[in-house]
Amino acid sequence: MDRKLFVQAIIKYLAGVLLVGALLFIPAGTLAWPHGWRLMAILFVPMFCAGIVMIRKNPELLRKRLNARETQEEQQDVLKCSGLMFLAAFILAGLNFRFSWIVLPDWISWTAAAIFLLAYGLYAEVLRENTYLSRTVEVQENQKVIDSGLYGIVRHPMYMSTLFLFLAMPLVLGSLISFLIMLLYIPIISKRIRNEEQVLEEGLQGYAEYKQKVKSKVIPFIW
């Protein structure tokens, strides 16, 4: 096991736990928020397990995802918008719990948690199928077009999984207001996909033909 990579992964993992916890529980004004702990559990327990698997089975993929830095200005803007979206959604979810603005039935939270975990499994399958998967928009050395499995159904199964993940999060927290904010993820990834496909079509041999073969971008027969 690469000890340096392990330490780097643990530090980023713990930083994520502390950051999300602060964004949720400080606005909520209490730690006694079951919905907040529910999201923390379904978000960070599978993430920890996935990290252990990756560091054993595919450390290079983990290293690429930990060290990725977006260089394209257009994609940097997309990431900034995404960050602001998450900040607003998490903070307002905590405030919604504190002040009981809109109270959703608890079954919605549990249903959303199940959808979140299914989407997490889908995300793991995408990582397994595509070893070239990166957090940045780029064409890697010796990269080839993946057109089997989930990539034979939609061109961007990663965004399909993250769409369900991100839209489930605010419902796990019981916040309709945060759900409406997270809908902004749709135009955000639409912009990212346009730029990503342009880069891939220009730099990845066979991608133009792949676009003709697989028509759906994110949701089969819909988008």
Angle at 197 between CA 212 and CA 65, to 5 degrees: 125
**Would you state the pLDDT for residue 74?**
63
Buried b (16+ CB within 10 A) or exposed e, 98-120: eeeeeebeeeebeebbebbeebb
Whole-prediction pTM value? 0.90
**Would you state the pLDDT for residue 165?**
96
Would you list the domain boundaries of the chain? Answer: 3-213
Of residues 81 and 108, more confidently modeled: 108
Q: What is the pLDDT of residues 128-170, one digit of tens each?
A: 888 766 555 566 666 788 888 999 999 999 999 999 999 999 9
Class of domain 3-213: mainly alpha
Number of Cβ within a 10 Å radius of residue 39: 27
Which positions ≥6 away from 25 have C-beta within 8 Å? Answer: 31, 33, 36, 94
8 burial level (CB within 10 Å; 0-12, 13-18, 19+): middle
Please check whether residue 201 is in contact with residue 208, taking contact to mean a CB–CB distance below 8 angstroms. Answer: yes
pLDDT of 5 strictly over 60: yes
Find the length of the chain.
223
Side-chain-side CA neighbours of 219 within 13 Å: the count stands at 8
Please check whether residue 206 is in contact with residue 145, taking contact to mean a CB–CB distance below 8 angstroms. Answer: yes
In the structure encoding, which two tokens stand for residue 173, read together? Answer: 């927290």
**Would you state the pLDDT for residue 190?**
93
Report how many helices (DSSP H) and strands (DSSP E) the chain contains, helices first.
9, 0
- In which band, very low, low, confident or very high, does the pLDDT at 26 lie, cut at 50, 70 and 90? very high
CA distance 31 to 37: 8
